[in-house]
Chain A
C-alpha cells in the first residue's frame, strides 16, 4: 500500500510544483471528508494543494426550516419520529431532536425498513420517517414507500429531505467567485447514479471530475489523477473506483427513485435555494408525504449571524477563518451546518485538525 501511496505522492508533488499556483480540489462526500481527516492526508500534501470539503454531508445541508418542520411533528402526541442518528443534533430555530428526546416519541433507526417496521408495531401512532440523504439513501426510502403502499400501511409517512449532488455541484461552480479547480466525486453516490452523471460538469465548466473510493490510498490516487489532468491542462471524467462504480450506475435503484420521486426546487443550509436539487414524492404517493398529510411546510431559514458555512461549503474559506468556529460553534452546540454532523467540514476540522500543528 505504501508503494502506491508513494508513487501517487510523487506525481502530486511534481504536478503541484509545475503548476506553481494554489490548487483547490473539492470533495463532495462526507465519507471522503472523514477519511481524509482521519488518515491525515492533508499533512502529506504539498502546501499549494488544498482540499475543500464541499456540501457532501446530507445532514449538514439539511435546512433549518426542514428541522423546524420535524420538531413541530415531534411535538405531536400522535406521531412517532423515526430518524437516522445523525439528525439528532441538527439545530432548528428552537432546539434539536436531542433536546426533545426526553419526550420519548423519537426513535433512532438504522434503515428505512426499521422505520416501516416501527409503523407496523405501533398501529395507534403515525410514524414519520425523517428521510434525508443523497442519491444513496433515496432508493431505500422509495422501497419502503412502495412497500407501505402495497401493504396499505397508512400510519407510515415520510418527510422527504432527499437531495441531489449534481445540481449542488453546478450551483457551486455557477457562483461568481468560486475557486474550485476540480472535484473528487463521491464513490457511494456514483455507484447509484453512475459516473456518467458528472459528464455535464466536465463539459460545461471544464473541471476534472474523478470518482474515487474511500480508502486513504484510493483517495490519494484520485487526487493524483486530478493533478495529472490539471498539470496537462486537461479536464476529464474518470472513475478509479471501477470495482463499484459503472458509467450508468444502478439502473434498478434509479428506476425505483424515479417511480416515487420527482426533482423539486429546495433549500440547502448554507447554499440557499437550488433549482431541481431535492426529491419530492410524486402525487400518486401523496398519502405518504408527511408535508402534505400534516400541512407542514419547509420555510427557508433566516441567515445565522456570523456563520460562514456558505463560504466553507463553496471552498472560499477554511473553517478556522470563521469567527464562530470553536468558540460559539462546536460539535456540542453547532450553529452552522458544517459543524452539525461528524461528517461536516467544520466538525471534522474541529475533531481532527483544530489545533495548530506542533513543529519539531
Chain B
C-alpha cells in the first residue's frame, strides 16, 4: 500500500486501525529506535538491575466522562493495568497525570478521583506519583488523564508472537463490543435508550490465575480500539500465520449486536475494555476455559477459532452464520454511522 498522503492528523489516526498503524510505523518509530519499542507490545519489556519489568502508558480522552459501567477514572486505571497484565506481569504501581480544562467542576473531579482510588485499591496497585496541569477553556475537552504503569513479570512466563504455532486455539474471555457500543450510545448526539453496559474491568486477577496455573498460553492482548478485528490482524501480520474464527462461537450480547446493526458497525471492530484474546496450545484449552468460566470476568469465555497455515498472505477469515467465508480486515480507524 502506498504511503498515506494526509498532511494533517485526522481523528481516525487515533482509532486503533490501519491509519494509526501507518502513523506509528511511518512517523513515530523512525525517530525513536530501540529494541524494547520495536516489539510494539501492550507493554515494553525491560530488564533493570536484575528485575524483569513491564512498563506501559496510556492516555484517556473518553467522552462522556461517566458512562454505564464505568467512568474515565476507572478506565484510566483498568486500561493501563490490563496492558501490564496481558504482557504477563503483575501490576505494582501507576502514575496519574491530569490535564484539566479551565472551568471544570471540582465535584466531578472528586468523583473521578474517588473512582481512580477505589479501582486501584480493589486491584491492589498503588498510584505512586502524578502531575496536574490546567489549560485554557477550549484547549482540552474537560479532562484528559494519562496513566503509566509498571509491573513485575511473572516468573516463568514468556509471552510473545514468536511462540504462536499452527493449531493453537484462540480464546476470548467473554462478549465483544460492549464498551464501544455503550460509549457510542451515550454520546450526546446519539442518546438512544439502551441496556448497554461497558465491560470496563481489571483483568489482572484472572490473567494471573491463568498464567500461574496453566502452561499453554502463548500470547495475550486486550482488544481495545479497533476491537477483535485489529487484534487478530496484528497477530496474523506479526506471525505470518493466518487466523480462522467462527461467527457462531464469538459471544456477543443481543443488545450490542442490535445497536451495531442499527448504526452499521461491524461488532468485530468495536472496542472492549474488559476482554483479552489469548492464544492457547490445544492441550491446555480445557484448563484455560475452566479457570475463566469460574471467574466472573470469564463466565462466557469461549474458543472462537484457531491459528492456521498461510498459503499466500496471512489473513484473518471468519466463517459466517450461513457457512460462508469472508476476510476480516484491519479496521480503518473510525467507524462512522451509515445513512441507508
Q: How far is the CB of A299 from chain B (nearest CB, A)?
A: 24
A75 interface residue per 8 A CB criterion: no
Whether B329 pairs with A351 at a CB distance below 8 angstroms is yes
Closest residue to A5 on the B side, CB-wise?
A: B322
B317 interface residue per 8 A CB criterion: yes
Closest residue to A350 on the B side, CB-wise?
A: B329
Q: Which chain B positions have C-beta within 8 A of A216? A: 320-322, 324
Known: A326-B1, A332-B4, A359-B311. A44 touches B338 (CB 8 A): no
Which one of A119-127, A132-140, A225-233 contacts B? Answer: A132-140
Q: How far is the CA of A352 from the CA of B12 in the complex (A)?
A: 20
Whether A108 pairs with B322 at a CB distance below 8 angstroms is no
Q: How far is the CA of A262 from the CA of B324 in the complex (A)?
A: 43
- List which A310-360 residues lie within 8 A (CB) of chain B: 326-328, 330-333, 341-343, 350-359
Whether A136 pairs with B10 at a CB distance below 8 angstroms is no
Q: Which chain B positions have C-beta within 8 A of A57? A: 340
Q: How far is the CA of A236 from the CA of B107 in the complex (A)?
A: 67
A13 interface residue per 8 A CB criterion: no
B296 interface residue per 8 A CB criterion: no
Q: Which chain A positions have C-beta within 8 A of B10? A: 98-99, 101
B163 interface residue per 8 A CB criterion: no
Q: How far is the CA of A262 from the CA of B164 in the complex (A)?
A: 62
Q: How far is the CA of A216 from the CA of B322 in the complex (A)?
A: 7
The digit string for A55-89, where 1 denotes a CB below 8 A from any CB of B, is: 00111000000000000000000000000111111
Q: How far is the CA of A176 from the CA of B115 in the complex (A)?
A: 68
Q: How far is the CA of A42 from the CA of B320 in the complex (A)?
A: 12
A207 interface residue per 8 A CB criterion: no
Q: How far is the CA of A217 from the CA of B323 in the complex (A)?
A: 11
A304 interface residue per 8 A CB criterion: no
Whether A86 pairs with B336 at a CB distance below 8 angstroms is yes
Known: A110-B190, A216-B320, A355-B312. A85 touches B329 (CB 8 A): no
Contact with B340, one of A101, A110, A326, A343 (Cβ below 8 angstroms): A343
Whether A358 pairs with B8 at a CB distance below 8 angstroms is no
A binding-site residues for B, Cβ under 8 Å: 1-2, 5, 29-31, 34, 37-44, 57-59, 84-89, 98-99, 101-102, 107-110, 114, 132-134, 136-137, 188, 216-217, 220, 326-328, 330-333, 341-343, 350-359
Known contacts A40-B324, A86-B338; 6 additional CB pairs below 8 A are A188-B340, A220-B322, A333-B6, A342-B338, A343-B338, A358-B312
The 5 closest A-B pairs by CB, nearest first: A40-B324, A85-B336, A84-B339, A40-B326, A40-B320
